Structure 1
Amino acid sequence: MSDCCTPDGSCSTSTAQNGTTVVADSHTVVYEVAGMTCGHCESTLTKAIGDLDGVLSVDVDVAAGRVGVTTGGEPDGAEIAKVVADAGYEVTGRAV
């Protein structure tokens, strides 16, 4: 049995090649965010979104104007948009 499986044979987590733990029930949503221009923007949003309950990781791409958010379960888009707005940026949509 692998390390990711429980005694009943179901999988709850798995370990990626880089050693990070991935929750089997995780969801990644990429948001389009306006107003980001630099590394400070990246740091600000990474911390603000990363502090939310249920957020497993945040990937900010300033050049593309996108923020990927991985959560352990369904993401709360309204809560993420509020935190982004409180930080001085704007969620303008979800990337497809």
Structure 2
Amino acid sequence: MQTTTYPVTGMTCGHCANSVTAEVSRIPGVSDVAVDLAGGTVTFASAAPVDREAVRAAVDEAGYELGDAS
């Protein structure tokens, strides 16, 4: 299992966090999604690497912008 963290810009409240969590959770193979509003990040676990574009599309669908992974 690997953990990946991406910065997400534009999140300001619990609704924002819930939206990002819901969309990222829909990506096949992703589990344990956690959003840190104060830090402006989304972290998730996956058994295999997840394509950045899939994560970007999910975050975009939630209404926010994805930064580069750390």
TM over 0.5: yes
Partner of 1:85: 60
Partner of 2:33: 58
> How large is the RMSD of aligned CA atoms in angstroms?
0.9
Choose between structure 1 and 2: higher helix proportion.
2
Q: Which ranges of 4 or more aligned residues in structure 1 deviate by more than 2 Å?
A: none
* Helix, strand or coil at the partner of 1:75: coil
Partner of 2:42: 67
Aligned equivalents of 2:27, 2:68: Cα separation in 1: 19
Aligned equivalents of 1:75, 1:41: Cα separation in 2: 22
TM-score (norm 2): 0.92
Residue 27 of structure 1: how far off its partner (Å)? 1.2
Q: Relative CO higher for 1 or 2, CA cutoff 8 Å, sep ≥ 6?
A: 2
Residue 74 of structure 1: how far off its partner (Å)? 1.0
Paired residue total: 70
8 Å contact 1:55–1:70 — kept in the other structure?
Answer: yes
How many percent identity over aligned positions? 36
